Chain A
Amino acid sequence: MQTFLQNYFPNVLLLKQEFIDSTIETLYMVFWTAVIAGILGTLLGVVLVATGPEGILANRFIYNILEKIINVCRSIPFIIMLALIQPLTRFLTGTTIGTTAALVPLVIGVIPFFARQIENALLEVDSGVIEAAESMGTSPLGIIFRVYLVEGLPSIIRVSSVTIINLIGLTAMAGAIGAGGLGNLAITRGYNRFQTDVTIVATLIILVLVFASQFISNTLIKKTSH
């Protein structure tokens, strides 16, 4: 085993500690972005559904503004956004490089994406069920928390999984601004220095993360749908 690794993945062995650190950095970025963008994105998604044309608190004005902002944000390629956001990053974190600094563009990039996903997930809830809840005298907040978020839970889990997998990919790009992580390792060490084995192993670890989140989400979906 040792010889196999030495022959085919020599650089990986040398960089064992770097691999561990990079994996932790990737997990750090994914985790905190997921939490912050998850909460804010869900909030935004719920507001979109509520103020939308068929919504329980329909408000064309608010809805149109939010729509436009989200569309603009989604149109900017992430790697360009990383650069554009720099002044804000510096303002919020005091620096423009590193994993914590990377959280700023990551969160700003994921929020509109996730908000859209949540909006779509919630719109899948049968409008007849919403009508029934209204006919029972449920308040708008009641409908959001007790109907949309409960009946839409399997869909919410599904779109969260899609978002996290997308996010893992974005963290790889964040490596471009010295944020560390597996993407950074794969590009700067593996690609730029022609250490292909490093690239391959970094990619494999990312794949493991992706499959793990897919597996967790499938299990959760099975548990929450009847």
Chain B
Amino acid sequence: MIELKNIDVTFYQKKQQINAVQDVSLTIEKEDVFGIVGYSGAGKSTLVRVINLLQRPTAGEVLINKKNILHFSPKELRTQRKKIGMIFQHFNLMKERTIFANVDFSLKYSGLSKEQRKEKIERLLDLVGLSDKKDAYPSQLSGGQKQRVAIARALANDPEILLCDEATSALDPKTTIQILELLKKLNKELGLTIVLITHEMQVVKEICNKVAVMEAGQVIEQNDIVSIFSQPKEALTKDFIRTATHIDQALETIIQHPSLTNLSGNEVLVEFSYVGEQTSEPLIAQLYSKYHVVTNILYGNVEILQQVPIGNLIVILLGEENQRERALDFLQRQGVKIKVLKDYEGTKNIVPLQVI
């Protein structure tokens, strides 16, 4: 549905050349919820603005439904933009207009009668859960409410695509989840293709089915969400995922508890990660029944991404050395990734920032 081919965006500032986006190619399919993550300055906001040409690329092609919009006349571009909604980090509502008038803004020249517009606006406000606020002004609303108005406004002309530029970065965690739930609902019920820009991996894991990771203007990794979370390749991707699963914080806490890390001769501190149908319970039970290895779980985290469970555990395995080795072997054969963090001699050091 959206194809970006070899996009370059270069700025010239005071004789300096800034390559905000370098040779990025992405394909976003219909009904995808496509996440683009990266730290500040990675070029994600610039890239998303190329999709509706708020930013013209210095090179490359932008194809929407197979048509290169770089060749559109100004009028054709405006018509195309009506089919692409956009919401922003700071909402960008018109302060001097009521909520009703804000949503009505892009309907003015849509050819609908006043009655039809009123009906449509009321339906949209109902969809986002703000019917009772139609005569309020933006200054009277909370952040979450403003973003919902922004979403209603973006949907006014029944777009096929919704671009979200850090849409939840200014909201508290609870409101963020509410907005993401709303976006998920819109994706399912309206078949809306969503492109989501964020620097928070938690946002991505909530609703995205595909992810691209950006660094310094380039896409360094892209994949479906389960693969990205279970088999991240690049260091930056791994870094993002670890912040999303809080595993490094858990490791920090564990390291600081000597009672947890003073291992006896038969103990070893291990980190597991696994994907999919292998849930931890039966495997851990089997470690005992088959190998007499006792598992003491210090930290556990299971994410469900697009209905696939992804788990991370930090455990202490207690058992005779041979048995332990065979147990770990068994786990590996089950597809569990293993990293031994520390054993009795302390010969292995806990290096939290490297991933299995």
Contacts and interface: CB of A to CB of B under 8 A. Distances in A.
How would you classify the secondary structure of chain B's contact residues: helix, strand, loop or mixed?
Answer: mixed
Interface stretch (A5-13, A64-72, A147-155, A173-181): A147-155
Nearest to A128: B92
How would you classify the secondary structure of chain A's contact residues: helix, strand, loop or mixed?
Answer: helix
Interface in B77-106: 77-82, 84-86, 88, 90, 92-97, 105-106
Interface residues of B, number: 32
A126 B92 CA distance: 8
B137 interface: yes
B106 A138 contact: yes
A179 to B, nearest CB: 39
A146 B163 CA distance: 23
Contact of B88 (A132, A139, A147, A150): A132
Interface of B: 52, 54, 74, 77-82, 84-86, 88, 90, 92-97, 105-106, 108, 137-139, 150, 153-154, 156-157, 163
Given A135-B54, A226-B137, A151 B82 contact: no
Contacts of B93: 129, 132
A131 interface: yes
Given A139-B78, A226-B139, A134 B95 contact: no
A95 interface: no
Nearest to A140: B74
B96 A137 contact: no
5 contacts: A132-B86, A132-B88, A137-B81, A138-B105, A138-B106
A139 B73 CA distance: 12
A143 to B, nearest CB: 11
Size range of the chain A interface in the assembly: 20 to 34
A131 B89 CA distance: 12
Given A150-B97, A151-B95, A137 B79 contact: yes
A81 interface: no
Contacts of B74: 139
A24 B299 CA distance: 85
A226 B54 contact: no
Given A132-B93, A151-B96, 12 more contacts: A135-B52, A135-B163, A137-B79, A137-B81, A137-B106, A139-B78, A150-B94, A150-B96, A151-B94, A151-B95, A225-B96, A226-B137
Contacts of A224: 96
Counting from the closest, the 5 A-B pairs by CB-CB distance are A137-B81, A132-B92, A226-B137, A137-B78, A136-B106
Contacts of A151: 94-96
B157 to A, nearest CB: 8
Contacts of A135: 52, 54, 81, 84-86, 163
Contacts of A126: 92, 95
Given A137-B81, A138-B106, A131 B96 contact: no
Nearest to A130: B92
Contact of A146 (B79, B85, B105): B105
A162 interface: no
A154 B108 CA distance: 23
Contacts of A226: 95-96, 137-139
A153 B92 contact: no
Contacts of A129: 92-95
A154 B94 CA distance: 13
B150 to A, nearest CB: 8
Contacts of B88: 128, 131-132
A133 B153 CA distance: 11
A129 B85 CA distance: 14
B80 A137 contact: yes
A126 B79 CA distance: 24
Contact of B78 (A138, A150, A153): A138
Interface in A171-191: none
